[in-house]
């Protein structure tokens, strides 16, 4: 879901012309990329935790 939103926002950046609008869109992209990375890290941590629990 985050990736889909990020693709849409990056498309909006391509068509934006005003500097203030471009800046706001770039900020939104940075937040989405952070969210995506944070979510992936949490998933990796949870997988690691679960793999440790499944071992005897």
> What percent of the chain has a predicted confidence (pLDDT) above 70?
91
Average pLDDT over residues 18-39: 93
The tens digit of pLDDT for each residue in 35-51 reads 989 999 999 999 999 98
Q: Is the pTM higher than 0.75?
A: no
Per the CB < 8 A criterion, the answer to whether 12 and 25 are in contact is yes
- Residue of 8, 42, 48 whose CA lies nearest to 28: 8
Per the CB < 8 A criterion, the answer to whether 10 and 26 are in contact is no
For 9, 29, 46, 49, the CA distances from 54, given in Å and listed in that order, are 40, 37, 12, 9
Residue that wins the pLDDT comparison between 3 and 18: 18
């Amino acid at each position: 879901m985050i990736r889909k939103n990020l693709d849409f926002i990056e498309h909006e950046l391509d068509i934006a012309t005003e500097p203030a609008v471009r800046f706001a869109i770039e900020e939104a992209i940075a937040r989405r990329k952070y969210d995506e990375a944070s979510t992936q890290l949490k998933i990796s941590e949870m997988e690691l935790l679960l793999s440790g629990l499944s071992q005897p």
